[in-house]
Chains A and B, each alone.
Chain A
Amino acid sequence: MTIATAFLALLEGRPQHGYDLKRAYDEHFGGDRPLHYGQVYTTLAKLLRNGLVSVDGVEGDAGPDRKRYTITEAGVTDVRRWLDEPEKPDQYLQSALYAKVVGALLTGRSAAAVLDVQREEHLVAMRELTRRKQSGDLADRIICDHALFHLDADLRWLEHTATLLDELAERIGR
């Protein structure tokens, strides 16, 4: 996930000023590393340039501070593509996946679907590993098992998260 995608997801909910975007990003995606303003404006500039956002009005004095950004059709498509595309079943994908779940919740899309897609992706990988394991020797087996156990752990986290979605949605909706 990039800052750009996160901004788009935030803007899909409602048009916002740059300053609000930074605050929302820090709250939902930033963890303990807040964005600095430079990053905010370069990202917004890039999104403007690519036609994914537009500026819908300037209030009071001109200046970047007072611009309000709105997502465009192209921007919405971008967000959808991001959510629909499962992450590679890598290790340590929680942050990316979590971001996606929050993104889905923020944009009013189905977070469960995000998880389902991810589960299927994981299962495909697991099936592949199982096949390899069944035809391989003991060493293959053990190596495949390592991966399988990790993927299994991911999946369990996914399942677990799925049961907490309602609670999460409530928290974010506030």
Chain B
Amino acid sequence: MNPLLDAEGLHKAYGPTTALAGADLRVHAGEIVSVMGPSGSGKSTLLHCAAGLTRPDAGHVGYDGQELSSLNDVKRSALRRREFGFVFQFGQLVPELTALQNVALPLRLDGVSRRTAERRATGLMDRLGLADKARSRPGELSGGQQQRVAVARALVTGPRVIFADEPTGALDSVSGEQVMEMLTRSAREAGAAVVLVTHDARVAAYADRGIVVRDGRSTERMAAR
């Protein structure tokens, strides 16, 4: 079976710093892949390249048969709206909007009417146990709640890949587990693949398989057992 997302031979340098020096990442539909490695090894850069947020200096990123680097900003933005979801460590929710509006945001940006968008967002938040937080603003939520709202937002468009970069990085271990549990469970239910960047083995253990990035090179070891 062809991988859904296939990043190959990625190179990326920021000035004198080499962030990636030939990294690969293959993600099949519906699977959860962890990306581990020491800090500064290039994990985030790999995720950014794979999601089309950063253009690699060399290498290819294929998604569903198309080359990401050949897409223009409009198309890549559309991909982010419809096919991808993102959960980052922090700072991704819009502080001026309520949790519900945040979750509905990708749909609204995609031209879905406000009513429909908020209905779908409400439904999803109900299922994820966030119903009572719908009217709160991010500033009024705990870190864990914010991350769960972010997960809901990543899921709301029914994406095929969710990119999670240290989603529990700013959380204590219990909230972290809650977020991970919710993320992996709902991704599996929705059939979405997850690229899970983390340096924490207990978080990586939620994945089906993992790769390691070290000094900008990825080592993809044995598949899921």
CB proximity of B105 to chain A, nearest CB, Å: 30
The segment from A7-15, A24-32, A76-84, A119-127 that touches chain B is: A119-127
> How far is it, in angstroms, between the C-alpha of A129 and the C-alpha of B206 when the chains are bound?
10
Is there an interface contact between A126 and B202, defined as CB atoms closer than 8 Å? yes
Is there an interface contact between A116 and B181, defined as CB atoms closer than 8 Å? no
Q: Report the interface size for chain B: residues with CB under 8 A from the other chain.
A: 20
Grouping DSSP codes into helix (H, G, I), strand (E, B) and loop, the A interface class, with mixed when no group exceeds half, is helix
A43 within 8 A of B: no
Is there an interface contact between B222 and A152, defined as CB atoms closer than 8 Å? no
Is there an interface contact between A163 and B202, defined as CB atoms closer than 8 Å? no
B207 within 8 A of A: yes
B89 within 8 A of A: no
List residues of chain A with CB under 8 Å of any chain B CB. Answer: 112, 116-117, 119-120, 122-124, 126-127, 129-130, 134, 148-149, 151-152, 155-156, 159, 162-163
Is there an interface contact between B38 and A159, defined as CB atoms closer than 8 Å? yes
**Using a CB-CB cutoff of 8 Å, which residues 200-225 of chain B contact chain A?**
200-202, 204-208, 210, 212, 214, 219, 221-222, 225
Is there an interface contact between B205 and A123, defined as CB atoms closer than 8 Å? yes
Is there an interface contact between B221 and A116, defined as CB atoms closer than 8 Å? yes
CB proximity of B214 to chain A, nearest CB, Å: 8
Q: CB within 8 A of B202: which of A117, A120, A152?
A: A152
Q: Are A126 and B201 CB-contacts (below 8 A) given A119-B212, A134-B181? A: yes
Q: CB within 8 A of B205: which of A127, A156, A159, A162?
A: A127
Residue on B nearest A155 in the bound complex, by CB: B201
Q: Are A130 and B201 CB-contacts (below 8 A) given A116-B221, A120-B222, A163-B38? A: no
> How far is it, in angstroms, between the C-alpha of A127 and the C-alpha of B207 when the chains are bound?
7
> How far is it, in angstroms, between the C-alpha of A148 and the C-alpha of B201 when the chains are bound?
9
Q: Are A123 and B219 CB-contacts (below 8 A) given A134-B181, A159-B38, A163-B38? A: no
- New A-B pairs, 4, CB < 8 Å, besides A120-B221, A134-B185: A126-B205, A127-B206, A149-B202, A162-B214
Is there an interface contact between B208 and A123, defined as CB atoms closer than 8 Å? no
